Amino acid sequence: MKQLSFLQPKPLPFSYEDWKAKPFHERVKMLCIAWATQGYGAPIAVYSFYLLKMMFYVSMWGFFCSFHSELGSWNTVGDWWYKLEALQVAIVWSILFEILGLGCGSGPLTARYMPPVGAFLHWLRPGTVKLPLFPKLPFLGADTRNLLDILLYILLLSSLVNILISSTVSLSQLIPIFILLPLLGILDQSIFLAARSEHYLIALFCFLFPEDTLAGLKLVWLAIWWGAASSKLNRHFPTVVGVMISNHAVLRSTWLRKKLYKNYPEDLRPSNFSKILAHLGTATEYLFPVILLLGIGGNLTLLGLVIMLGFHLYITSSVPMGVPLEWNIIMVYGAFLLFGYHAVASPFSLESPMLICVLGFSLVLLPLLGNLFPKWISFLLSMRYYAGNWAYSVWLFKGNLEEKMDKNIKKSNLTLRKQLSLFYDKDTFEPLADKVIAFRCMHLHGRALQELLPKAVDDIEAYTYRDGEIIAGLVLGWNFGEGHLHGKQLLHSIQKRCKYASGELRCIFVEAQPLFQADMAWKIYDAKDGLLEAGKVNVQALTELQPWREEK
């Protein structure tokens, strides 16, 4: 198959034949070494796709603002960009953008090649799989999408569009969002999480209290920055820095990438340079919100905004896996509006008891509980963004039995191998698909697989390895690093439809490390036989391991 350079991924530093002839752990090592200097190796077309998507996101915000009487068109943006109504439009548009599947979890960097989005293609289709919050309840716990699910989803889309094209926004227009989105979350957790409810829904709730809106929004922004910074105080984050910079879309220096590791290519544990960068990044995320909080305009506020802008530009320019690009855009816009133009307003001037309670629960109590008991609460609701300490899973299909999902499960995307085969020949798409293994193993938590894979299957060569993120994206229509979406509950739904025999599908489920605890819990399941084994792995011990298994 002839390749266009625009679509061609970066060539791997080894031949397909040599790589394929190696045993599994050697192939993983080769992929990890390749990742260290070239990341995922995405082609130019992938980055162009995400650039165009960001441009569409911003331009449509301006388009929707033109409907509102307090705002205006792009021609007069200097007269209205600082108004809270403009931020309200950005928040409502962001919810719509995300639940259509256009934001986080879209495109090739989340294993969506054709079509490049899921979400609405999946959530408007009866018979697709969903993940109810309470699976044991009658009716509400059903895992098959029905007409009620689709109707509620359409109502939510309609309610959001109605707000966006209205000249003024009333309380009666906002209330349905606070009913429909939680209700949809009970019926299907993926929709609630896709809406980035821990940010957008809480921020929108602040608009129900006109006198406290500005202060409430400032607290939301501060909580997100500080919550994310706090979650990075762990042993995992230095490996995240290496994986992220090695995959950076702009910083492509091979010399710089090698410096991220102790002794490339023999030792790919984080170097002191990586650790320093991790600490500096965490300190920066703590620091600039403090500066913005203390600033009342003038040079101090300007300094905080410059640091904030540099911080988010760095994240956006890296085009990280999961691609939360538009989320970074609204964080920057919100910072300039809330802490720049409205620098004098104090975030601690709240008067509404209800808003104080809701913000206290969602911005303080819920993240705290999510860090203490991560198995019960999503890392998104816990505000543990890109900290490296996430739940994850690995799915092992015997032979080519992954394809049973195409035959027995209604969904909007084909399996990853079939999607990639539309663009590339076998010697290109097979190692490209397996680079996801390197992504997982390069993170600290992925090194637990060196112990867990041999426990799960006797002969790894007889199985096809798939990261749970890819499975969730295919079967649920959305994925964004939330390991609980591809846990035991999803396995049960897939087994009900595909009926794998004993040994045909094995799953490894690894939980995040709880705050103040030294271990991560893990479980191994067989699709038919259920739980096979469970235990814990010490995180400190993982820091001594390479990303690959070393034969003794």
Radius of gyration of the chain measured on its C-alpha atoms: 23
DSSP conformational letter for 460: G
Question: In this structure, what token pair is assigned to residue 401?
Answer: 């039995």
Q: What is the pLDDT of residue 1?
A: 41
229 CB-near residues (< 8 Å, 6+ apart): 282, 285, 286
Q: Is 126 helix (H, G, I), strand (E, B) or coil?
A: coil
Residues in the chain: 552
In the beta sheet, which residues pair with residue 144? 129
Whole-angstrom Cα distance, residue 451 to residue 469? Answer: 21
Q: What is the residue type of 182? A: P
5 CB-near residues (< 8 Å, 6+ apart): 43, 44
Q: Is 447 helix (H, G, I), strand (E, B) or coil?
A: helix
Q: What are phi and psi of 530, to 5 degrees?
A: 85, -150
Under 8 Å between Cβ of 342 and 216: no
**Residue 531 burial class via C-beta count within 10 angstroms: exposed 0-12, middle 13-18, buried 19 and up:** exposed
Q: What is the pLDDT of residue 552?
A: 59
Question: In this structure, what token pair is assigned to residue 433?
Answer: 């698909």
Q: What is the pLDDT of residue 240?
A: 95
Q: What is the pLDDT of residue 416?
A: 85
Give the residue among 439, 448, 440 at the shortest CA–CA distance from 520.
Answer: 448
Q: How many CA atoms lie within 13 A of 500 on its CB side?
A: 29
Q: Is 262 helix (H, G, I), strand (E, B) or coil?
A: strand
DSSP conformational letter for 272: H
Give the residue among 291, 136, 126 at the shortest CA–CA distance from 225.
Answer: 291
Q: What is the pLDDT of residue 185?
A: 97
Cα dihedral 130/135/141/145 (nearest 10)? 10
In the beta sheet, which residues pair with residue 519? 538
Under 8 Å between Cβ of 78 and 318: no
| Per-block mean pLDDT, blocks of 10 residues, the chain (552 long) | 63 90 94 94 89 97 96 94 98 98 91 90 97 95 97 98 96 96 97 97 98 98 97 95 93 93 96 96 97 93 97 93 93 98 94 97 97 96 92 97 95 86 83 90 97 97 96 95 96 98 98 96 98 98 94 66
Query: How far lies 12's CA from each of 26, 33, 40, 426, in Å?
Result: 15, 10, 10, 14
Q: What is the pLDDT of residue 12?
A: 87
Query: How far lies 193's CA from each of 130, 208, 480, 526, in Å?
Result: 13, 22, 9, 27
Distance, first Cα to last Cα, the chain: 41
Give the residue among 53, 159, 67 at the shortest CA–CA distance from 109.
Answer: 53
Q: What is the pLDDT of residue 5?
A: 62
Residue with tokens 């104090």: 346
The DSSP secondary structure of 319-337, one letter per residue, reads: --TT--HHHHHHHHHHHII
Residue with tokens 């129900």: 208
**Residue 492 burial class via C-beta count within 10 angstroms: exposed 0-12, middle 13-18, buried 19 and up:** middle
Whole-angstrom Cα distance, residue 198 to residue 212? Answer: 19
Query: How far lies 100's CA from each of 117, 188, 191, 281, 294, in Å?
Result: 8, 15, 10, 32, 38
Q: What is the residue type of 101? A: G
Query: How far lies 448's CA from each of 233, 276, 364, 469, in Å?
Result: 20, 24, 31, 17
Question: In this structure, what token pair is assigned to residue 477?
Answer: 């229509």
Number of H helices, E strands in the chain: 24, 7
